[in-house]
Amino acid sequence: METLVSTFEWITRILDAASLLPDFDSPLGIFCAIAWIATLISGLTFAIAFIADLGGGDMDAGSADGDTGSFSVQAVMGFVLGFGWGGYLAVLGGAGVGLGIVVGMLVGIVMFFVIAGIMKAIYSLKSDGSLKYETLVGMTGTVYVTIPPNGEPGGQVQVSHPSQLITMAAVQDGPEPLPAQTRIEVVAATTYQLTVRPVGAQPSSQK
């Protein structure tokens, strides 16, 4: 315990000497606090995304909503990160609070577009290279959001592809809606939508 306390005090002294110790008593400390908070949150979100990607969980190529959500969070955190560190460095260099805010916003905007571009490129590579949608035909899964009858849009399914868990929009030709948790089989696939039928149901051409 004493070793932990002494290590924390040692780190605190280093941060204080380098004017990197966040506080809310001065403009420099406030910018520093924003910068550190954004840095920690960004690191955590990247780590969580990386772990989820390794596990084939939430970062599935077929889930547009998941990709958009992660994309938005990372881009916004990029802005906050740029704002905090940009404003901190400006004030540290002798600028006033107003100029520090302007510099922070400019740096934040640049970081927003840089990270947005990087995330867009990453998702594009994942979508283009990691999954061939025709390989989903014949696979089974479960209904995630109730699928309306007669080819009407609005449903979603989850299919366990060997490389990842995929959530995609789905339609079906049956006359009755397919409720959540119904076991389904994929009979056709495009980049944006799957056509499914209940497991064990006869193909429509054979009815």
- In percent, the amount of the chain with pLDDT more than 70 equals 67
CATH number at residue 176: 2.40.50.140
Domain presence at residue 81: yes
The whole-number average pLDDT for the span 110-128 is 73
Query: What's the domain range around 174?
Result: 133-197
In this structure, the answer to whether residues 44 and 146 fall within a common structural domain is no
Domain presence at residue 54: yes
Joined together, the tokens standing for residue 45 give 């979100």
Domain presence at residue 202: no
Give residue 63's pLDDT band: very low, low, confident or very high (50, 70, 90). Answer: very low
In this structure, the answer to whether residues 116 and 189 fall within a common structural domain is no
The lowest-confidence range among 95-99, 117-121, 130-134, 164-168 is: 130-134
In this structure, the answer to whether residues 88 and 17 fall within a common structural domain is yes
In this structure, the answer to whether residues 104 and 156 fall within a common structural domain is no
Domain presence at residue 111: yes
How many domains does the chain contain in total? 2
pTM over 0.85: no
Final residue in a domain of this structure, among 129, 148, 164: 129
| Beta pairing, strands 155-161 & 183-189 | unpaired
In this structure, the answer to whether residues 140 and 125 fall within a common structural domain is no
Q: Tell me the C-alpha distance between 170 and 185, whole Å.
A: 11
Domain presence at residue 90: yes
In this structure, the answer to whether residues 180 and 144 fall within a common structural domain is yes
- Tell which phi-psi region holds residue 65, choosing left (phi > 0), alpha (psi between -120 and 50) or beta: alpha
Q: Tell me the C-alpha distance between 103 and 91, whole Å.
A: 9
In this structure, the answer to whether residues 82 and 118 fall within a common structural domain is yes
Q: Phi then psi for 110, rounded to 5 degrees?
A: -60, -45
Domain presence at residue 203: no
Q: Over the chain, what is the mean pLDDT?
A: 75
User: Angle CA(177)–CA(182)–CA(188) in degrees, nearest 5?
Assistant: 75
Q: Tell me the C-alpha distance between 159 and 178, whole Å.
A: 15
pLDDT tens-digit map of 163-204: 677 788 888 888 888 888 888 888 888 877 888 888 876 655
Final residue in a domain of this structure, among 98, 129, 160: 129
Domain presence at residue 155: yes
Domain presence at residue 159: yes
In this structure, the answer to whether residues 9 and 63 fall within a common structural domain is yes
